[in-house]
Structure 1
């Protein structure tokens, strides 16, 4: 399989990770597009001995962090339309959709470093070692961030009166 075909196969995973980081679908799509563009341009730097997904996640995460740094230097002006609540929104009727919605909202309330660890290890099922490589921290840091993130997520949900997470030992 050639490099571009492998890139295309990773798009759904990149979108999910970008959405978790950015919290906004449009911003996530821009982030994925930038990531793919950078991967194509810098493809010669990719080491085939390393998993492509881990390399792409590192590229995407670095782009996201660079964007945050740039954003913190520039002032964002919102219009009244951006601040208005979504009119006509209907609450989900099915319990599993409600649970997913509650967890997604709780995830957005977590600090970025906790959210990215939960997404990489919990959702993307990456090993601690791969997540550590992507984020650039020791494996022990991943483990402690994950424990703190799970605890914070559980607390956020309990504070809202919901118990959609359960302990698995």
Structure 2
């Protein structure tokens, strides 16, 4: 399963950050062999073993539990908050989350393809503080962030395949 960098789709909820001066944006894609809706993708993404590790760290930092039921509520549109994020925008095939500090965005999207497959997208934006330049720590950690983002997307797609095979 190949995860590759891609452009943020034209008209996507995250497009506003692509052109913003001083913002870092990325987007990655993987093609899934079956039809996947946004709810299933969000659920798979935030319940991978790798993201569960991030949830454990956030649980300590935020001093509150982060349960799978919280993921389900976000995925099904019953909640506009999850862990350290709130929903900035949502449509049938996309969700854009903003962290509590307003500094980062997480973007997940599904795009059904004519051949019955689904293009899964995960992107991030780090919004500059008006200086027009990303802080050094952000620039230095970008390679690690990109590696982590691709791993999360690959694991979510794999989890969806396992779920589809057992259905």
Which structure is higher in RCO with an 8 Å CA cutoff and minimum separation 6?
A: 2
Comparing both structures, which one devotes a greater share of its residues to strand? 2
Comparing both structures, which one devotes a greater share of its residues to helix? 1
Return the index of the structure with the highest Cα Rg: 1
Per the normalisation by structure 1, the TM-score is 0.27
